[in-house]
Amino acid sequence: MKIKTLKIDGIDISGREEQTIFEVARENNIFIPTLCYLEGLKPIGGCRVCLVEVDGKKLLPSCITKIEEGMEIRTDTEELRNYRKLIVELIFAERNHICSICVANGNCELQNLSVKLNIDHFEMPNKYPKCEVDMTHERFGMDHNRCILCARCVRVCSEIEGANTLDIMGKGSKARVFADLNQGWGSAESCTSCGKCVQVCPTGALFEKSKPIGYNKKRDFLTYLKVMRSNDL
């Protein structure tokens, strides 16, 4: 295992060669925002909120960029803050994120990040698309109005549960999470009703029908499963 040294925001830091910029920054209590990343799932660099400046010129997603010897990284510049605000604003504009009537109000990662980034208004016009709400499952609901296409649900269903029930179809603003052969979630025979996808959803797109508005989702089970599987090996 090789150790590499680099600078993050002017601070000399070391990390293991297989680590990403995001992982090393987090170990050293350096904040980098993200929406699609979740420890225990394979990172995909989908949301682009975790962009950092590398060597003074390149903007790279920190969650999938491995550290290199001598890297100089900046995580909090005016340019990065503007990019992150724009990305979050685009996410809000693409769907119907009306916090006051959302089941995740008060416990939503998108909502929390917008506060963290000091977003108090939007300049981007909202598309107000007509999105479906799938309530066919006995225990869970899927509200496409709240989906940010982070693919956490898809990844946990495949990587952790092994059911491969969920996937994403379509492109751009027409992309949607779907179950099995694009049928109602309640008709998906491959679904084990484990609820892992619901727990890792950062917004109110996936929710438990029996829970109150703003309930806390349990995402730490991924870290637990990862540790247990490592011990078994």
Same domain? For 53 and 117 the reply is no
Question: Taking Cα atoms as reference points, which of 166, 224, 231, 227 lies closest to residue 195?
Answer: 166
In a domain, 86, yes or no: no
Q: How many domains does the chain have?
A: 2
The reported pLDDT for the residue numbered 148 is 97
The reported pLDDT for the residue numbered 231 is 65
The reported pLDDT for the residue numbered 57 is 82
pTM here?
0.92
Query: Of 35, 60, 76, which residue sits at a domain end?
Result: 76
Sign of CA dihedral 181, 171, 135, 137: positive
- Spell out, as residue ranges, where the chain has pLDDT lower than 70: 229-233
- Name the one residue in this structure whose structure tokens are 């078994």: 232
Q: What is the CATH number of the domain that holds 15?
A: 3.10.20.740
Q: Tokens standing for 157?
A: 């269903």
Contact predicate 157/197, CB 8 Å: yes
User: Per-residue pLDDT tens for 192-210?
Assistant: 999 999 999 999 999 999 9
The reported pLDDT for the residue numbered 155 is 97
Q: What is the CATH number of the domain that holds 188?
A: 3.30.70.20
Residue 69 structural domain? 3-76
